[in-house]
Structure 1
Amino acid sequence: MLTGGCSTGVAGTPVAELWDPCTIPSEAIEAAGVHPEVVSDDYIGLDQEDWNICTFRQDWYFLSIQSTLHTYQELLQNPLVTGFADALVGNRQAVTYHRFDDTTGDDCSLGFEYAQGLIVLNVSATGIEVREAETCPLVQQIAETLQVEFPK
């Protein structure tokens, strides 16, 4: 499902609109094993012009689904992330990775390209509840379940 199109930017230049991950149906989020109630649609510290974010909470972790104008290549060159591992989301090339300061495995992201830039899913332990699973296999499983909801 793709919501967006073109809007007028500076001096009439077309600007691509980001896909909104909060448009994923509640039933699909629930089928991925996550409570479908949105707990946040923004992220402090990110330039909101470049990102659309939707965050859900499932017992011991948060699931954040993000779309951005940043590219897959920019992700691979980002010095704040490490531990890249190849992955697939359906037939799309993807990569899992961690924040550079995550020494416990409590945080794992998965990123892949789409027409407007990059889609990122992140599973991050709350730090309150006991972590019940490894975060990278979990984020891969969620992405695989939700793949039909992501724009091409």
Structure 2
Amino acid sequence: MRGRPKAELVLTEPERDELVALTLRRKTAQALVLRARIVLACADGQDSKVVAAQQRVTPQTVGKWRARYVEHRLDGLLDAPRSGAPRTIDDARVDAVIAKTLESVPDGATHWSTRTMAREVGLTQTAVSRIWCQWSSNNPQCADDAGHPLGDG
């Protein structure tokens, strides 16, 4: 045997039943079905290259899901959280925009526009629009990415 030694993959009967059930359910995401099939084949003692060929994936993919299953069991087959960009607008600024929207109006106008609010609080028009839509989920215009003061719509 060449390469790094693999951690032993042994399934309990309930684990095997759950993995088989995942592969048979019609509503299971296909990515999860593939991962379950990989784990089942590895648990049956098949070589990673054979499993990779059968499932039409790379041996590295087989190794990844095998290792994640050994370490995390069924939870390891789920997608890992993605990092994404960190927030750039903190809760205090969001609260300030909401408060200003609800408690005041700009000079010479009846309500705030995204542009006037953005200039007033030092954010972008898009940021103000997103804040308003987040806090006014019943506003049908938010589905179209149009930003309007809370309560209007």
Q: TM-score, normalised by structure 1?
A: 0.22
| Structure number having the greater helix percentage | 2
Larger of the two Rg values belongs to structure: 2
Q: TM-score, normalised by structure 2?
A: 0.22
| Structure number having the greater strand percentage | 1
Q: Which has the higher contact order (CA 8 A, sep 6+)?
A: 1
